[in-house]
Amino acid sequence: MIYAIENQSVFDVAVQESGSVLAAFDWALKNGLSLTDDLEPGQQLISPNSDFFNTDVAGYFKGKKQMIATGFNTADGQSIIPTLGIGTMRIGTTFIVG
């Protein structure tokens, strides 16, 4: 059993604990989750028996005592949409052609 940390996803847990993103399906199924569910910090997850276990990758993260957390939380006001720059321009409105 492991405990999720902030901004950790099912995919993060699968790579960290099983060494393969393919194990994410097994993690989700074993814990009654969807692959896209947000994990709560401290949420308990039960380790599945997965055919997709990569000892080298899982051992690397355990040996370095690294925890993967690549999730993104918009609840705390973060946004991936820039406020300025080419990514926010709209043709004919903020980006004038001609």
Does residue 67 surpass a pLDDT of 70? yes
* pLDDT for res 71: 76
User: Tell me: the pLDDT tens digits for 13-37?
Assistant: 999 999 999 999 999 999 999 998 9
Q: What is the mean predicted confidence (pLDDT) over 62-90?
A: 75
* pLDDT for res 81: 66
Considering the chain, what is the average pLDDT of its residues?
86
Task: Tell me how far CA of residue 36 lies from CA of 1, 81, 88, in angstroms.
Answer: 20, 20, 26
Task: Tell me how far CA of residue 35 lies from CA of 9, 30, 51, 58, 97, in angstroms.
Answer: 8, 11, 18, 20, 42
**Contact residues for 59 (Cβ-Cβ < 8 A; gap 6+):** 19
Task: Tell me how far CA of residue 84 lies from CA of 24, 77, 90, in angstroms.
Answer: 36, 17, 12
Does residue 76 surpass a pLDDT of 90? no
Q: What is the mean predicted confidence (pLDDT) over 26-53?
A: 94
